[in-house]
Amino acid sequence: MDKQSQIIQELGVQPTIDAPAEIRKRVDFLKDYLKANPFAKGLLIAISGGVDSAVAAGLCKLATDELSRESGQDYITLGVFQPFGEQEDIEDSYAVAEAFQLTHKVETDIEDAVDELCLEAEYGLKSIGIHKHLSVGGKGNVKARTRMVLQYALAFELNLLVVGTDHASEAITGFFTKYGDGAVDITPLSTLTKRQVRLLAKELGVPEAILNKAPSAGLWPGQTDEKELGITYEDNSDYLEGKKISEEISRKLESRYELTRHKREPIPRI
């Protein structure tokens, strides 16, 4: 088996999908996990304004609405908006909530918390003789982790499961939330490529403006996944769907896959 086939198999990607069937499968997946965890009263999804969280939000809302009708209990989907100070595209997050008629919404501004954590980290560095501010990437990671802390604070109080937006096109490059990055409880998009996520978005009725946005984790101004990696999601999706792409891009993707293997594996146990 060649490297491309091995990676495709490990990530569980299919070369083509039927969007309605995939939506049904993933909604049932969420419902089954909720039913298997009796404490859980619903799902929490952080809505960034990008296509991945929009699709996850749509799946969550379908799942909790169906469970509520079927069980006679109230299951909710909580949409969480997490700007760092002013977020230019915050209206996209609210547009997703409106598109899927989310009745439960919370906004948590992480700026003050992130600044305090970074300051404490810099004091820590100073205590061992290192006088520096956190790097741009380091502060970006603090933002990501702070968002997860707040999600779990809300989820704990409301007995919710935290839903991740990770998919195969992020897993191959290590651009996803796992363990040291904060972790999530369940990932309904994990075997999809970015292109396939967009297919589900169209089927679910995600607003058109969100479909055309450049993917970004919002870790620093102007940050985009494609710029940071030097790999387009078109090439990434082609590779994972078994298509032939340039050897240079294939090598880049395979190198990233090996470099970030630790993020895809369970916590090692002795």
Catalytic (active-site) positions = 52, 170
Look at residue 25 and give its three-state secondary structure.
helix
Alpha-carbon span 53 to 265, nearest angstrom: 23
Alpha-carbon span 137 to 125, nearest angstrom: 16
Question: Do the beta carbons of residue 122 and residue 132 sit within 8 Å?
Answer: yes
Question: Do the beta carbons of residue 96 and residue 123 sit within 8 Å?
Answer: no
Alpha-carbon span 233 to 226, nearest angstrom: 7
Look at residue 153 and give its three-state secondary structure.
helix
Nearest to 45 by CA among 160, 158, 179, 140: 160
| Token couple for 64 | 């909790």
Amino acid at 28: D
Cα radius of gyration rounded to whole Å, the chain: 19
Look at residue 223 and give its three-state secondary structure.
coil
| Token couple for 61 | 């809302």
Alpha-carbon span 40 to 5, nearest angstrom: 37
Q: Positive or negative CA dihedral for 150, 152, 153, 157? A: positive
Beta bridge partners of 76: 42
Alpha-carbon span 10 to 41, nearest angstrom: 32
